Amino acid sequence: MFHHLLEPLIPTLRQVAAALIILLASGGSQAALFARTADNLQREAEAAHADGKQLAIVLTLPDCPGCLEMEKTVYRDRRTEKLIAGRFRTVRIDLSLATPIIDAMGRTTTVENFAKRLRAVATPSFIFFAGDGSLLYRYTGTLDQTGLRDLADYVARA
Name the band, by pLDDT with cuts 50, 70 and 90, for residue 10. low
Tens digits of per-residue pLDDT, 27-79? 444 568 999 999 999 999 999 999 999 999 999 999 999 999 999 999 999 99
How does DSSP assign the chain, residue by residue? --HHHHGGGSPPHHHHHHHHHHHHHTTT--SPTT--B-SBHHHHHHHHHHTT-EEEEEEE-TT-HHHHHHHHHTTT-HHHHHHHHHHEEEEEEETT--SEEE-TTS-EEEHHHHHHHTT--SSSEEEEE-TTS-EEEEEES---HHHHHHHHHHHHH-
How many CB atoms are located within 10 Å of the residue 110 CB? 13
At 101 the pLDDT is 97
When the pLDDT of each residue in the chain is averaged and rounded to a whole number, the result is 85
pTM of the model: 0.79
**How far is 152 from 3, CA to CA, in rounded Å?**
55
The answer on pLDDT for 3 being more than 70 is: no
Question: Residues 90, 54: contact at Cβ < 8 Å?
Answer: no
Which domains, from first to last, does the chain contain? 31-157 (3.40.30.10)
Predicted confidence band of residue 7 (pLDDT cuts 50, 70, 90)? low
Report the 10 Å Cβ neighbour count for 25: 8
Q: Look at residue 117 and tell me whether its pLDDT is greater than 70.
A: yes
| Amino acid found at 24 | L
pLDDT tens per residue, range 91-113: 999 999 999 999 999 999 999 99
φ, ψ for residue 57 (rounded to 5)? -120, 140
